[in-house]
Structure 1
Amino acid sequence: MSTVKMISLRVKSMKNIQKIVKTMKVVSAAKYAKAKKDLLVARPYGTSTKVFYDKLDLKDPQEQTLLIAITSDRGLCGALHKNVSTKIKEEFAKRPENSKIVCVGEKSRGLLQGQYGKSFLGVADQIGRKPPTFLDASRISNILFTTPYKYTSGKIIFNESKSVVSYLTSVVSVFTLRTLNAAPGLRVYDSLDDDLLQSYLEFSVTSLVFYALKEAAASEQSSRVNAMDQASKTAGNMISELTMVLNKTRQAAITTELIEIISGATAAKKDSGV
C-alpha cells in the first residue's frame, strides 16, 4: 500500500505541474501577441537603419570587434538563449585576441562567463521581465559608446522572430564614426560634419539595439509557448503512464489480499476437519 500511495502522490504532483505549465502557456501566448504588435512598430527602426548602412556600402575593418549578445534574465524557453551564446562563440573564435563581449541579460552572462568572462565589457540585466523600451536600448548603447575599448566594428546577435513556431538567430552590424566617415556612399550627402554623424551614429545604434530587443522579446515568448506546450504534453503522457502503473499496482495488491483471504479460509477449513 505504501507503493500505491507513493505513485498516487506522483500522479497528483504531475497534474499540478501540468496545470502550471498550461497556465504559463496561456500567459506566454498573451505576451507574445503583445510583443508581436510592439515588434511591428519597432521593425522600421532596425530595417531603415540597415538600409541606410547598406546604401553607404560600409566595410567592416574586422580589426577590433565588439559582440553584443541579446538575451534576457528568464529561462524556460527552449534553446533560445543557447543559440545566441553559440553564435557568440563562433564569432569570437574568428578573432579571439581582438574581440570583446557585452551581455544583455543574465542568461548570456551565465552561458558565456565561464569561458569568456575575461573578455566581458559589461552586462545589462533586468531584461525580459517587462517589454523592452527605447530607454532600455539607450542604456545598452551607452555601454557601447562609453567603453574604453576602441573597437572598429560591432555585431549584435539576437533571435529574430519569424512566426509563433519559429525564430532565427541573426547578426546585425554596427559601426564606429571612423568607419562611417570612410564609407564610399557618404559622399552623396553634403554638409555632414563629425558632430552630425556622431549624433546619427548614436541614434542608429540605439535603434538597432531597440529593434533587436523587440525581436528577441517576441522570439522568447513564442519559444516559451512552444516549450510549455511540449511540457504539458510530456506531463500528460507521464500521468497516463503513472495512472496505468497505479491501477496495476492497486489491482495486484487487491489480488494478493484476496489470495491471502482464500488461503486462510481454506487452511481454517482443513484445521476444523470440514
Structure 2
Amino acid sequence: MAAVAFRGVQSFRTNWHWQQGARGMATLKELSIRLKSVKNIEKITKSMKMVSAAKYAQAERQLKPARTYGVAAQAVLEKAEVVEEERSENHLFVVISSDRGLCGSIHSNLARTLRPIMEQRSSSANTYFVCVGDKVRTILQRTMRDNLFMTFNEVGKKPPVFVESTAIAHAILNSGLEFGTAEIVYNRFKNVISYQTTLQPFVPLKTLTESENLLLYDDVDADVLQCYHEMTWPISCSTP
C-alpha cells in the first residue's frame, strides 16, 4: 500500500514539473514577437544616438565662441590684479544644472561640492542658493531647504541665448536680496566624458570701484564699472 502511494506521489511530481516546464517554455510565435520587439528597440536606440550626437555637436560649436567672452571678462580682472574677497557673512551661490537627469553624477556633484562649504560656515542661515535647473533644486532642498531663494527652470530647453542669462542676472540683482559676495557653481565642460565642478566668484561692485589699477584709466569711472559689473553676471551665467 505504501509503495503504491509512493509511486503515485512520484508520478504527480513528474507530471507537475513537466506541466511547469511546458508553461514556462515560449512558443516559436512568441520568440518571433520578442525578436521583432528587440530589433525595433535597437532601431529606436540607434535613432536616439544619432539625434544626441547631432545635438552635442551643435552645443559644442556654440560653446567655443561663447566661452571667449567669459574668458575675456575674467582676464580683465586678472590683469588689473583685482583681489577677490573672502566669502562674506551674506553669501550667494548660483548653482547651474538642468531639468533632466540620466547623466550620471553631474547634479549630485554640485551638491557634494557645496556640502562641506556649508558645514564650515559659522552661520549657514545667511547663505542663499539660486538654482538654475530643477534637478539641483531637488537635491539641495533635502538638506538645505531653508537656504533656497530662487529657482529657474526650462532654461536651455532650446539652444541657449544670451537673453536667458541676462534675464536670470536681472532677476537676481533686482530681487532685493542683500548679499556681500557671490559665486557661480557649475560643471565646466572639458570633453564628452569629462567635466570639472567649478566655483567661480563674482567680484562685488565695491571691490571694482576701490581697485586702484582700474581707476588709473581716464575713461573708467563709477558708471563704467557699474555697467561692467552688471554685464559680467549674464556673461558668467551663459559661458560655463
Q: Same fold judged by TM-score > 0.5?
A: yes
Residue 38 (structure 1) aligns with: 62
Residue 47 (structure 1) aligns with: 71
Once the two structures are TM-superposed, the CA of residue 106 in structure 1 deviates from its matched residue by 0.8
Alignment size in residue pairs: 212
Residue 167 (structure 1) aligns with: 195
State the AA in 2 paired with 1:106.
D
Residue 121 (structure 1) aligns with: 149
**1:4–1:131 Cα change, 3 Å:** farther
Candidates 174, 178, 201, aligned match of 2:229: 201
Question: Is the Cα contact below 8 Å between 1:70 and 1:156 reproduced in 2?
Answer: yes
1:133 correspondence with 2:161: yes
TM-score by length of 2: 0.78
**1:178–1:93 Cα change, 3 Å:** same
TM-score by length of 1: 0.69
Alignment map for 1:60-139 (pairs within 5 Å): 60-63=85-88, 64-95=90-121, 96-139=124-167
Residue 190 (structure 1) aligns with: 218
Once the two structures are TM-superposed, the CA of residue 122 in structure 1 deviates from its matched residue by 0.7
**1:31–1:183 Cα change, 3 Å:** same
Deviations 1:144-167 (A, max 9, x none): 211322212211111111112211
Deviations 1:222-252 (A, max 9, x none): xxxxxxxxxxxxxxxxxxxxxxxxxxxxxxx
| Structure ranking higher on relative contact order (CA contacts 8 Å, 6+ apart) | 1
Once the two structures are TM-superposed, the CA of residue 13 in structure 1 deviates from its matched residue by 6.3
**1:17–1:115 Cα change, 3 Å:** farther
Higher helix share: 1
SS of aligned partner of 1:168: strand
> Could you say what the CA RMSD is over the residues aligned between the two structures, in angstroms?
2.4
Aligned-partner Cα distance in 1 for 2:48–2:191 = 19
Once the two structures are TM-superposed, the CA of residue 46 in structure 1 deviates from its matched residue by 0.7
Question: Is the Cα contact below 8 Å between 1:122 and 1:143 reproduced in 2?
Answer: no
